[in-house]
Amino acid sequence: MKVERILKTLCAAVGTSGDEAAPVREALGLTGLPDGQVDALGNGSVTLGAADARLHLLLEAHMDQVGMVVTSVEEHGFLHFANCGGADARVMPGCPVRVFASEAAQPLLGVVGSVPPHLNKDGTDKVPKTEDMTIDLGLPAAKVNVQVRPGDRVVPVYTPKMLLGTRMASAALDDRAGAAALVRCAQMLQKVALPGVKVTFLFSTREEVGGQGARTAAYTADAEQAICVDVSFAAQPGVKPEVSWKLGGGVMIGAAPILNRAMGRKLAALAQRESIPYKWDVMGGSTGTNCDEVAVARGGVQTALLSIPERSMHTPAEVVDLQDVEDTARLMAVYVCDLCGAKLPEEPEEKPAMQEIFSSTGAVSTDTDAQIWSGCLPKLCTARGISGAEDAVRELILSYIRPYAEKIEITPLGSVLAYKKGRSRARTRLLLNAHMDEVGLIVTHITDEGLLKFAAVGGIDPRILPGRSVTVGYGSETVPGVIGLKPIHLTEKGERQKSIPMDDLYIDIGAKDKAEAAAVVTPGDMVTFDSVYEENGCSVKSRALDDRAGCALLIHLMQQEDWAYDTVFEFAVQEEVGLNGSRTGAFLAEPQAAIVVESTTAADVPGTEKERQMCRLGEGPVISFMDRRTIYDKEYTQWAFEEAQKAGVPCQWKEGVAGGNDAGAIHGSRGGVRTVAVSLACRYLHAPMGVISKEDYDAAAVLLQRLAERIAGSE
């Protein structure tokens, strides 16, 4: 459909309130009309028809999207921010974002963080206040202060994507969907003579912060009539039928005191005549749209409102049906033709193409350095593999290690045991372990409406789920989706401050009903977060760093040509759901000693006292003395610090006993295994985007090789 290309182009052009130049420019260009104008507040307008026409009609949609604005830079380089428009705080924790920094050549990738739930007195029951959240760019404070300024805009990371059928998911569909309808209307009307009627297409600014753009532009336009196009509430869980309409159900025609009843009735009659489905959208007071500004311009403007149904408004997971956008465009075009006695030419009907069942599960950012210092880590982090479904990750790892392994075994549960030959036989049989699996979700049920219910696989803070973009399924047959939620406009004040229980969330894949969803999704299908991988010279930001970073370090060690002692490398499955892979793998490998290579929670974020931060990025690999599953070997932990000192690399204690890892199963295997854990400090563990330090990663590679040699060579 033509509208798909238009809407993807408009949504991809980022523009928060007061900063809408990019989407306005795109919209004006897409109309195909010459002489577009941009006014002092950034409103874009273009006119079709004679200047001396007897009737001037204004068609309006707003271009700004909700987002955030940087308010200050904290002493350690974290960004404080405020809402720019009615952004929903419930979708912010763990949200990957782009910061449009004043002094940076490209937008900077960051993640919204807060105090980890186990250190927060409210746990996961409440959504952090906006003032208690910060944006982490993974950059030193000195760099951040050079590049970022208060007032810089921030939006969630998103890519407009087609779901099933004619449904599209993206941020900014409020109100780029309305703008797309205006563009399509302009394209239709260029094929028609419009005697006596002039039409101005207005792409207005600042609607989300008060409607100033439409107010001033309507004054300038001085039109007799206006039709404003916005989005309204689509049917979804938690939204009452009387204030919503089904996706794909057609146009919503507004009725309110400020709206002109005759125009509304005429639009309804034309919709009936043209077989355009519609529903009345009745409001007892203001409309909450730019109609409230346009209708009172100058001496008053006869104004109508058309709305496009949308799910999950003001989130990165907004969903519309393209047919509703097309129907809205056609209804406006028919209205204009009726004003001047013209007939809208028939267009060849465009049947929506069947969507290919495939979704991008992650990508390496274009901002990543050309020389990727972490070798295989980008591919490992963007491979999909929750606990029990690690197949793709395992095959990738095997492709990296086969040339360097004397023997490889795949255990019955799916772990990899790779035996590397050294210069000498080990005096102590050593196992190096990292786990392949990542946390994620699993489909549990398909509702009658075609929405997917799910459960967590591994430990996930439910606050990081709303609004996230996800991929459902296995292998190449995957389905894109978004985790939807009730629009913030329809929530009570107390409800906005509470985290949404997982049972109240759902995955929207664009299915019209249960049968359509069941054709492509089965209960038990895995669900992973979509993410972007980026290295910036100081840090890595990605999903699944726990424990793909550990796997990458083990691959690096396996690929070393000069290796001192025979060693067993284990890439374990199912760590996140009970250490199952390492328990059985250790039994089969029969080690006498083990080094577990992990990622561990770093709470060095604003709001956490230093004594509760556990560990810190940039201070080297993390050595544990104890956690909730393991008391680590005292001599080996001491050796870790000694070898770090000899190598001249930093090393730090894990200053707490929270958490656990595969050591819990390995150290109790058979008659007991002497075990040490070497971890990477990672912020926002088990979220769609974590952050680790480049220096820590490099130091861990050096330390692990020295520590492995010392342990394997000891009696």
DSSP letter assigned to residue 14? -
- The dihedral formed by the CA atoms of 300, 304, 310 and 315, expressed in degrees to the nearest 10: -10
Structure tokens at 596: 């577990």
Q: How far, in Å, CA of 522 to CA of 502, rounded?
A: 19
Residue 369, CA distances (Å) to 148, 244, 366, 523 in order:
20, 47, 8, 40
SS3 463: helix
The answer to whether 245 and 235 are in contact (CB under 8 A) is: yes
| Contact partners, residue 682, CB within 8 Å, separation at least 6 | 545, 546, 549, 599, 600, 601, 602, 690, 691, 692
Cα 565 to Cα 174, 198, 430, 558, distances in angstroms: 61, 83, 9, 12
- Count of positions (residues) in the chain: 715
Phi, psi angle pair for 164, to nearest 5°: -70, 150
Kindly give, in sequence order, each residue whose CB lies less than 8 Å from that of residue 3, ignoring residues fewer than 6 positions away: 180, 181, 184, 322, 325, 326, 329
| Catalytic site includes residue 575 | yes
Exactly one of 535, 575, 598, 643 is catalytic; name it: 575
What is the radius of gyration, based on Cα positions, of the chain? 28
CB within 8 A of 292, min separation 6: which ones? 211, 258, 286
- Residue 449 CA to residue 167 CA, distance in Å, equals 14
Q: Tokens representing 117?
A: 């739930």
Question: DSSP string covering 537-599, please?
Answer: SSEEEES-HHHHHHHHHHHHHHT-SS--B-EEEEEES-GGGTSHHHHHHHHHH--SEEEEEEE
Distance CA 317, CA 335 (A): 32
> Bridge partners of 507?
452, 483
483 vs 315: CA distance, rounded Å = 10
Residue 220, φ and ψ in degrees, nearest 5:
-65, -40
The token duo for 459 is 């430990």
For residues 523 and 443, is the Cβ–Cβ distance under 8 A?
yes
User: Reduced to 3 states, what is the DSSP secondary structure of residue 711?
Assistant: helix
Instruction: Look up residue 616 and give its two tokens.
Output: 């810190």
Q: Report how far residue 687's alpha carbon sits from residue 6's, in angstroms, rounded to the nearest whole number.
A: 32
DSSP H/E element including 31: helix 21-31
Six-digit token string for 291? 């109609």
Strands 134-136 and 108-113: antiparallel
Rounded Cα gap, residues 349 and 275, in angstroms: 14
First to last CA, the chain: 71
Rounded CA separation 214/249 (Å)? 28
Assign residue 544 a region (left: φ > 0; alpha: ψ between -120 and 50; beta: otherwise).
left
Positions annotated as catalytic residues are: 575
